Every structure is written in C-alpha cells, then in structure tokens.
C-alpha cells in the first residue's frame, strides 16, 4: 500500500500561489516492536520525540519509488480512472488533518509490515508554503503562546489574588517584541519538528499546488515550473480554511486585521474593536486586555458568546467580560470598516442586524475581524469530477466520502477538516483523517462528532463536548425522552481553592432513563484539560451509572468531574413506574444491583408485586437471600418521578 499527503495554505503567504500542497514518500522496515503513532492534534512527533532512522537500503527503496510523471496528456483523458496507481492514498493538505491522516497511514503500513511481512506504505507531501497549515502557523499554536503571556500577566497584575496567597510582586510589564517572538518561535519549532518527523519516516516533501485532474489523479507543481501528475487509489482533500471577511470590510493588515495578522502582534492598540464574540474573538480579547488595551465587541446576534451553552456563557461573561475593560454592541452588523489613514482612526459603521437601519459609528485604533473561517477549496479542480461546493464547503457523508452534483458518492474521494464544514477544529480534522485511513485500509469506521471536545483558552478556560442544554432539550422533545442536569462547582474543589481559583462550574446534561451522557460543559481553571474524561466517555458509550465508580486522585481538579458524575441520578422503572433515586441499604450498597439498572432486566428480581402507589420488589438470590434482606425494606419505589 502507498500513501501521499498534499498540504494547502491560504494565499497570504505567497501571492503567486493560491494554495500550498505537500507531497512525500516513505518505506518502513519491520522492527521487533510495534510503534504507536496514533495522532490527534499535534502528536509526539511534533515535539521532536519520535525519530525513525532509515537505513541505506531504505533510502535506495525510497529513491527508486519517486515516479512523479510529467504532465503531457490532454485533460480530455482525465475522465477515465487509471488501471495502476503510484500511491494508495493522496492527501491534499498537510495541516493537522492531513498530517494526522498521513501518520496514521504510516501506522497502518507498520501493521502490515509486522503482520504480513509486507513493505510499508509510500507517502509524499506536496507543500506550496509550510507544513502545519493554519493551526501550527497562523492559529492554535501561536495563539496559545500569546495566551500563555496574557495568563501570566493577569496573575502578576491581580494584587488581591497575590495577597491571598501571601505574595508580593512589583509592577509587571512586558516587551511587545519579546512576546511576538515567543509566538513566532513556538510556531517555527513545531513546524520544524513536524517536517523532521515526516522526513525521518521517509516522507518526500515536494513543493507545489495540488489540483484534482480526474478520478484518482492529482496534478501538482509550482508557478513557472513543469507540472507533475500522480495517481492514487484513494484521495483525501484536507485543504483547511482561511479567515472569513464580510463584505464592506477593508483589511489592510495593519489597523484592520484578521487573526493571521493579530498573531504577529506588530502593535498593541489602546482601543481595539473585535467583530465577533466566538472562540477567536474571546481569546484575543483575553490577550489584548491583559496587555493593556480596551476592547469593544461587535456581535451580530442578540447575545455575546452565541455558540456556548447559555448558562456557561452567562457565567463566563460575568468573569471574562464585565470586570475587564470591555464593552459591547449586540444585534448589529459592522456594515463598513475603513482602515486608519492620514492620521484618521479606524471607522466602523454599524447597522441593526434585523432592520438594517443605521446605528452607531465607532472610531477606534484598530479592528480585528473574528467572524469565523471560510473553507479554502478554490482551485482544487472539483469541477473535473462533477463536485459542486455548498457555500465553499465540499459535501460529504458520515464517512467523509465526497458527494457529487448529482447526489452520488464519488468513488475513492474523501474530504476532511474545515473544507467539509462538519466541525471546524484542528483535532476534528485529524480524527476525520484517521477515520478515513481506517476505511481505505479495509476497516469501516464512523466518527462520532458529538464526542469531539472543544475549548476556548481564556483565563479561566471554557470547554465543552456534546450538546448544549437547548440542543439537548430540542432533541429530547423530538425523540420523546427526558433530560436531567447535574452541576458541580469549583468552589467545592480542594485543588481549585488551594490555587485561589474557585470561580467555575461543570455542567452535565444526560438522560436519566438510561444514563446516556448528552453533553458536558466546563468553565474554570484548566477546563480544557478536564473535558477529555467526558469526551472519552461519550466516545466509548460509557453511561453515568458506570463512570461514577471511576476513582480520581485527591486533591485534583479532576474531582470536579467525579462529583459531577456522582451527582447524576438515573431513574429505574418497573411496569412503567420510575424513580430518580432508589438506594439499597448495606450490605448490598455499592454493589451492581437493581438500584442502578432497569428493574425488569435485573436477574435478582423474580417476583414483583404492585399496589396503587407503590411497587414492592422482592429479591431472591438462591443461598444469598439473607444478604439481600436488608434491601427488601427499602425497595419501595414511587410511581411518580422524584427529584433528589
């Protein structure tokens, strides 16, 4: 089997090249121990941990496999699929999604080497700019460097917090260029480590722009150079996204900027307007206010933080927005933004989002456009295979297989990450890529997107997985079930109080009838790290009646999740009767018995007697009757739901 990865980046990096792509090859020699190369987000290879040395024999194999073809045939022949292939898999895009899919393909190759004594996968990456895509170069990675600085600044500037800990610190300051260098150096380090990891695996990195010519055929090349063509049994599109800029907004890259420009931190304005109050806007408001700026949010919807669970969003606003130098305008569009020029400030004209009537006009030092991201799919050659994008997104099914203009599946073509619009997160792209590699390797796999967590790295952090409460209630109404809510406060957690960081809340949304976890939302210290226990529970189908028995180290922040799951109560039912809380007395307390399962399914129950208002459950278990007698007296359940 063979695999290829092509990468794509946005046009800001090179005016002459519309999209960057990556290409490379590798071959793997069997070893005594299988290597674990599982990838989600940035893998250990990105940190420079994993290095796989190649032998001279391996280099010779790789060299002999470089069979890139010169483009000489007419495009009229692109409609027919090739009968033999250069690669088993071509991935167009080497961001986190494409890179993750490529490395999982390496893992699948190693499995074949170890199990079947076959030669490993062959991979190439076509790169028109730099490896790592948006996340590494203009997104997740450098933004976390800036947020690390803003977090330290907040700690040093919070006199009340420091005094509570018995600390005395003189006035804190910062060097803007030093902060910018920290972000740039981190991105450069991760990018280099990713590149070196691919090279160490024998991946060839070729430079050029990738375009689909026809079924199972891709062209790549640079402006001013000859094009090359490769064929592949399967192709994955992973071209990512670029900042979305609404009409009427003029971006000059200096005073009117996108997140791409803001991450360079070329200056810190005294007053900056941020258009959009989602993840991107919130994180940059955290950075700018920590560095001394005043911030004004401009939000088209009627409330700030529209994508968050309303209860969590309300609490977060009380902590992240109201005490800080932040004001906001909601229910308005920024219909026109003019950059600063000739001594005049940035001008923002706002209109009512519903009536379109003119509202206020702002004059600020800078404006950050944080209105989301748009798929980067132009120039891919999708017209050559009858694929029509929907608002720029490539249409796919639940297995990420591309759907053409006639509603039919395009054989051997997949699309992952921001380009398909299912979930515009770097780690979601990686997970989708891994899922596709499983499929093309012969193992069916469908990714549960409700199990993919998300996080906003403000101070404190916000994280979530699954459904919000309104979404869960809508689903429950449509499907005919009830939901319950459980909560746990950071104020009751020893570790949070030791850090003097008791402001926070964890919220669980679940089905009381079967214990299914529908959603978990956390606001508080290290919320981004805490969410994964919940996301893994959803992914594995773990119910609250099982996860509540998990043990957490004390004292740790993880005990917030422990308390959250333990506070959730299931309802048991016998002949239509339900009970939200039914407890056994010792000695069976803590055992897996009818109090945590559907009564009708409990093997211990052999007879059930019902009265007008109560159900008496008689438990008989062979020779263990005496042990269970203590339960009988408390096995009286109400027909009506009872809240604990």
Other CB atoms within a 10 A radius of the CB of residue 181 amount to: 13
At residue 528, the 3 state secondary structure works out as helix
CA-to-CA separations, 116 to 27, 81, 119, 434, 438, in angstroms, rounded: 15, 29, 9, 21, 17
Write out the two tokens for 239: 């071209």
At residue 116, the 3 state secondary structure works out as helix
Q: Biggest alpha carbon distance in the chain?
A: 93
Question: By the 8 A CB rule, do 42 and 190 touch?
Answer: yes
Q: Residue with structure tokens 């009512």? A: 352
**What is the distance, to the nearest Å, from the Cα of residue 397 to the centroid of all Cα atoms in its chain?**
19
Write out the two tokens for 347: 């001008």
Q: 465, 434, 471: which is closest to 528 by C-alpha?
A: 465
Q: Give ∠ CA 520-524-525 in degrees, rounded to 5.
A: 120
Q: 104, 95, 100: which is closest to 141 by C-alpha?
A: 95
Q: Where are the beta strands (DSSP E) in 66-159?
A: 69-70, 87-92, 124-126
Question: By the 8 A CB rule, do 614 and 636 touch?
Answer: yes
| 542 vs 531: CA distance, rounded Å | 15
Question: By the 8 A CB rule, do 462 and 308 touch?
Answer: yes
User: What's the half-sphere exposure (Cβ side, CA atoms, 13 Å) at 295?
Assistant: 29
Q: 196, 225, 208: which is closest to 92 by C-alpha?
A: 208
| 457 vs 450: CA distance, rounded Å | 20
DSSP state of 367: E
**What is the distance, to the nearest Å, from the Cα of residue 49 to the centroid of all Cα atoms in its chain?**
23
Question: By the 8 A CB rule, do 434 and 104 touch?
Answer: yes
Question: By the 8 A CB rule, do 595 and 560 touch?
Answer: no
CA-to-CA separations, 178 to 149, 191, 267, 537, in angstroms, rounded: 10, 20, 12, 41
| 489 vs 563: CA distance, rounded Å | 9
Q: Residue with structure tokens 């992914």? A: 539
- Write out the catalytic residue numbers: 554
| 415 vs 461: CA distance, rounded Å | 31
Write out the two tokens for 277: 């109050």
End-to-end CA distance of the chain: give it in Å, rounded: 57
Question: By the 8 A CB rule, do 1 and 106 touch?
Answer: no
């Amino acid at each position: 089997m063979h695999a290829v990865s092509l990468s794509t980046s946005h046009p800001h990096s090179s005016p002459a090249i519309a999209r960057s792509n990556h290409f490379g090859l590798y071959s793997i020699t069997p070893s005594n121990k299988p290597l674990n190369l599982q990838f989600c987000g940035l893998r250990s290879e990105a940190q420079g941990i994993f290095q796989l040395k190649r032998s001279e024999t391996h280099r010779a194999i790789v060299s002999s496999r470089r069979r890139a073809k010169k483009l000489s045939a007419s495009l009229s022949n692109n409609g027919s699929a090739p009968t033999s292939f250069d690669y088993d898999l071509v991935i167009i895009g080497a961001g986190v999604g494409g890179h993750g899919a490529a490395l999982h393909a390496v893992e699948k190759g190693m499995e074949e080497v170890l199990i079947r004594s076959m030669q490993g996968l062959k991979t190439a990456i076509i790169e028109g700019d730099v490896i790592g895509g948006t996340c590494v170069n203009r997104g997740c990675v450098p933004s976390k460097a800036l947020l690390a600085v803003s977090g330290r600044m907040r700690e040093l500037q919070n006199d009340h917090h420091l005094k509570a800990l018995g600390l005395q610190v003189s006035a804190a300051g910062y060097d803007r260029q030093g902060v910018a260098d920290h972000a740039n150096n981190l991105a450069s380090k991760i990018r280099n480590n990713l590149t070196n990891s691919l090279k160490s695996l024998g991946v060839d990195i070729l430079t050029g722009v990738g375009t689909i010519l026809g079924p199972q055929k891709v062209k790549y090349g640079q402006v001013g150079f000859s094009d090359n063509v490769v064929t592949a049994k399967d192709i994955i599109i992973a071209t990512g996204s670029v900042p979305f800029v609404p009409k009427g907004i003029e971006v000059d890259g200096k005073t009117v900027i996108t997140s791409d420009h803001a991450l360079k931190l070329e200056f810190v304005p005294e007053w900056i307007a941020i258009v959009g109050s989602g993840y991107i806007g919130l994180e940059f408001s955290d950075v700018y206010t920590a560095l001394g700026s005043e911030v004004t949010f401009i939000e088209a919807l009627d409330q700030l933080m529209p994508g968050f669970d309303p209860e969590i969003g309300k609490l977060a606003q009380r902590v992240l927005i109201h005490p800080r130098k932040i004001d906001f305008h909601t229910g308005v569009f920024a219909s026109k933004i003019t950059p600063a020029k000739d001594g005049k400030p940035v001008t923002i004209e706002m209109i009512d989002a519903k009536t379109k009537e003119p509202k206020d006009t702002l004059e600020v030092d800078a404006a950050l456009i944080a209105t989301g991201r748009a798929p980067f799919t132009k120039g891919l050659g999708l017209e050559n295979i009858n694929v029509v994008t929907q608002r720029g997104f490539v249409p796919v099914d639940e297995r990420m297989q591309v759907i053409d203009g006639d509603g039919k599946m395009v054989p051997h073509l997949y699309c992952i990450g921001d380009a398909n619009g299912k979930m515009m997160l770097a780690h979601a792209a990686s997970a989708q890529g891994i899922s596709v590699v499983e499929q093309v390797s012969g193992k069916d796999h469908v990714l549960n997107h409700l199990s993919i967590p998300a996080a906003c790295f403000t101070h404190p952090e916000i994280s979530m997985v699954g459904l919000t409460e309104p979404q869960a209630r809508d689903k429950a109404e449509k499907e005919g079930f009830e939901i319950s809510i459980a909560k746990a406060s950071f104020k009751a957690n020893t570790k949070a109080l030791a850090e003097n960081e008791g402001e926070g809340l964890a919220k669980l949304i679940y089905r009381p009838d079967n214990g299914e976890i529908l959603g978990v939302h956390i606001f508080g210290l290290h919320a981004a790290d805490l969410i994964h226990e919940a996301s893994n529970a959803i992914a594995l189908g773990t119910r609250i009646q099982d996860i509540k028995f998990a043990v957490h180290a004390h004292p740790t922040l993880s005990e917030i999740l422990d308390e959250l799951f333990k506070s959730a109560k299931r309802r048991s039912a016998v002949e239509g009767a339900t009970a939200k809380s039914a407890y056994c007395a010792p000695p069976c307390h803590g055992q897996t018995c009818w109090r945590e399962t559907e009564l009708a399914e409990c093997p211990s129950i052999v007879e059930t007697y019902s009265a007008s208002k109560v159900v008496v459950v008689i438990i008989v278990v062979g020779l263990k009757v005496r042990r269970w007698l203590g339960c009988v007296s408390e096995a009286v359940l109400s027909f009506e739901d009872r809240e604990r």
